């Protein structure tokens, strides 16, 4: 991805988040120049990769296969005594922009339609070989236990949510004709290095072509503390 594309996405999606009535924390506004001045008191942001995040899953076609994210809070998977045992993210999915099929080995998460369009979540159980099982899928949606056939596309309108447990394959996209979706994710501690199992081979962070200076740093780009 080009840096100019990432800069434009941050500006566009920050405006969308504001339009949805959601306010981001102060570090969302820090410039690259400000990050160069910050001391170790900001290490939780650095070490737990809070902040802006864009992925094309290594496929090089963000509009077709991609996801825009902002991590608001996260615990530390390396520290069993960390009191913060949870994480929270915002995700933005555009119309027919595919977020690939995957499951988590440890993380349970609620995926919430926070506003905008409708979200389609496709569901499969995983089998013993980590493939897609053809067995019925049972999930909880806003306190209601429901069972669907394998591969079912669950429609979440604004305000609705689904709980996804470890080993449950899921993919999602915004439904065509209804606009982009602001998605909330509330979960156990997030670990993108070890806890994601993609059905197909996917990357995590994009390769960036630096065609202009960064407007905001991504969560994997923070400089060391002063």
Residue 111 sits in which domain range?
3-198
**Dist. CA 193–CA 200, nearest whole Å:** 16
Question: Does residue 16 lie in a domain region?
Answer: yes
Residue 93: is its pLDDT beyond 90? yes
Residue 203 is predicted with a pLDDT of 79
Is position 123 within any domain? yes
Query: How would you classify residue 21: left for phi > 0, otherwise alpha for psi between -120 and 50, otherwise beta?
Result: left
H/E/C letters for each residue in 114-162? EEECCEEEEEEEECCCCCECCCCEEEEECCEEEEECCCEEEEECCCCEE
Q: What is the CATH number of the domain that holds 189?
A: 2.60.120.10
**Residue 80 predicted with pLDDT over 90:** no
Would you say residue 226 has pLDDT above 90?
no
Please indicate, yes or no, if residue 215 is contained in any of the structural domains: no
Count of domains in the chain?
1
CB 107 within 8 A of CB 165: no
Residue 214 lies in a domain: no
pLDDT of 122 strictly over 90:
yes
Residue 193 located in a structural domain: yes
Residue 218 lies in a domain: no
Q: What letter does residue 64 receive in the DSSP assignment?
A: T
Find out whether 189 and 95 touch, Cβ atoms under 8 Å. Answer: no
Per-residue pLDDT tens over the stretch 166-190: 999 999 999 999 999 999 999 999 9
Model confidence at 116: pLDDT above 90: yes
Q: Which residue has the higher pLDDT, 202 or 221?
A: 221
- Assess whether pLDDT exceeds 90 at residue 96: no
Q: What are all long-range contacts of 37-44, with beta carbons under 8 Å and residues at least 24 apart?
A: 37/226, 38/225, 38/226, 39/225, 39/226, 40/225, 42/225, 43/225
Q: Could you tell me the pTM of the whole model?
A: 0.95
User: Can you list the positions of beta strands (E) in the chain?
Assistant: 51-55, 67-73, 86-93, 99-104, 109-116, 119-125, 137-141, 144-148, 152-156, 161-164, 168-174, 181-188, 196-198
Residue 206: inside a domain: no
Tokens 């995957």 appear where? Answer: 102
pLDDT of the residue at 115 = 98
Does residue 179 sit within a domain?
Answer: yes
């Amino acid at each position: 991805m080009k840096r100019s594309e990432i800069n434009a996405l941050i500006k566009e999606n920050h405006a969308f988040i504001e339009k949805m009535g959601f306010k981001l924390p102060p570090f969302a506004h820090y410039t690259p120049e400000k990050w160069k001045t910050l001391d170790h008191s900001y290490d939780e942001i650095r070490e737990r990769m809070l902040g802006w995040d864009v992925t094309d899953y290594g496929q090089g076609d963000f509009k077709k296969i991609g996801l825009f994210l902002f991590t608001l809070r996260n615990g530390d998977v390396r520290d069993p005594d960390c009191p913060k045992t949870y994480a929270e993210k915002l995700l933005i999915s555009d119309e027919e922009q595919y977020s690939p099929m995957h499951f988590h080995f440890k993380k349970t998460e609620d995926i919430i339609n926070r506003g905008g369009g409708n979200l389609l979540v496709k569901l499969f159980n995983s089998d013993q070989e980590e493939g897609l099982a053809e067995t019925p899928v049972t999930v909880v949606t806003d306190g209601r236990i429901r069972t669907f056939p394998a591969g079912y596309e669950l429609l979440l309108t604004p305000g609705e949510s689904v709980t996804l447990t470890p080993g449950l394959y899921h993919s999602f996209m915004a439904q065509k004709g209804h606009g982009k979706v602001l998605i909330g994710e509330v979960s156990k501690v997030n670990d993108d290095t070890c806890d994601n199992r993609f059905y197909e081979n996917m990357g995590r962070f994009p390769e960036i072509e630096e065609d202009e200076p960064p407007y905001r740093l991504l969560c994997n780009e923070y400089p060391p503390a002063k």
